[in-house]
Amino acid sequence: MFDQFLSKADELLAKGEPFAVAVVVRFEAPISGKPGNKAIIQADGTLWGWIGGGCSQPVVVREALKAMANGQPRLVRISPTASPERGIVDYTMTCHSGGTLDVFIEPVLPKEHVLILGRSPVARTLARLAKTIGYAVSVAAPGADREAFPGADSVQAGLDPARFKITPQTFIVVSTQGESDEEALEAAINAGSGYIAFVASKAKAAKTLDDLKDRGLPADKLAKVRAPAGLDIHASSPEEIAVSILAEIIQLRRTPGPEPRPTAELAVLAKTAKDPICGMTVDTISTKYKSEYAGDMYYFCCVGCKHTFEKDPAKHALPSTQ
């Protein structure tokens, strides 16, 4: 089983797909999950492996998706009683067999990817420095070749970012510097990356952005372009400008922000509801236990919760969808 687990992780790594590893690190009986049980959660919410019964899995999937979204590991506790403790994400679920489960979740994300449009001196220096600190590097530019970018992972002639896989870990830098500036910047904006930097002076950047606005590009998309590129460290040489760009990328990666809700989590939540008896997150599609009251449908993790609700539905009737 462990060999299969490693093979699955290796397969996802080879594809460049993000995933999270969940490992049971502690338990209090009675509980089905045991220390060492582990699972892989993919970006679409698919769980492969074993970390315990049905009560545990929706929680682990949700927290794994959050971990992939912000790149931060977390320790999750699923217990019948609230036990708030610093550094632990606490879930109280009274149906959870009476036991406690602690699960450590570690996101495994593809390498940060610097996609450079252009073959200017800044572009060549940036490609070399980004590779030195372990980033994946791709270059797209008219006339670009391996001789100019010997360490890059991929070099493509032309200015089409669509040839590359754009992910939340992709940072696009337009460093054409007079060679198809507008075409390159428009292509970068349409690629949909969260980071787009334009190597140009303030005056040149303003004119280029105005020209793109006149060509119909939305103002909100143009406003996301970082120009001049990089942190303001008074850089002047190609080497200094490349350093300032990498410094900005590192700063963005290391600065925690509000925890995003990944798209896959929305799909997971769209088919879940809260058991009004125990607080368990229930899959509304697969559960066999449901009951209608006052025009609303309620979902339960087990027959016991369903029976408890039906004895006095007015007492337990609460908004059940999350």
pLDDT at 192: 82
pLDDT at 207: 95
Q: Are residues 78 and 202 in the same domain?
A: no
Whether 193 maps to a domain, the answer reads yes
Is residue 185 within 8 Å of 174, Cβ to Cβ?
yes
Q: Are residues 182 and 104 in the same domain?
A: no
| Blockwise average pLDDT, block size 10, the chain, 322 residues | 86 89 88 86 91 79 89 89 81 70 93 94 96 94 90 90 85 93 93 92 94 93 94 94 96 70 53 79 78 87 85 78 42
Q: 110 CB contacts (<8 Å, ≥6 apart)?
A: 16, 17, 18, 136, 167, 169
pLDDT at 127: 96
**Which residue, 250, 238, 247, is CA-closest to 119?**
238
Which amino acid, 296?
A: D
In angstroms, the CA 2 to CA 173 distance is 41
pLDDT at 111: 85
- Global pTM value: 0.66
In angstroms, the CA 108 to CA 14 distance is 12
Whether 23 maps to a domain, the answer reads yes
The boundaries of the domain holding residue 192 are 113-254
Picking from 222, 254, 286, the residue at the C-terminal end of a domain is 254
pLDDT at 104: 97
Q: Are residues 274 and 238 in the same domain?
A: no
Let me know the angle formed at the C-alpha of 302 by 301 and 308, rounded to the nearest 5 degrees: 105
Token pair of 304 as six digits: 């016991």
Which amino acid, 199?
A: V
**Which residue, 9, 230, 245, 189, is CA-closest to 110?**
9
pLDDT at 20: 96
How many domains does one find in the chain?
A: 3
Q: 88 CB contacts (<8 Å, ≥6 apart)?
A: 75, 76, 77, 102
Q: Are residues 202 and 218 in the same domain?
A: yes
User: Domain with 241 in it: what CATH number?
Assistant: 3.40.50.720
pLDDT per residue as tens digits for the range 207-261: 999 999 999 999 999 999 999 999 999 999 999 999 999 999 999 888 765 555 5
| Total H helices, total E strands in the chain | 10, 16
pLDDT at 320: 44
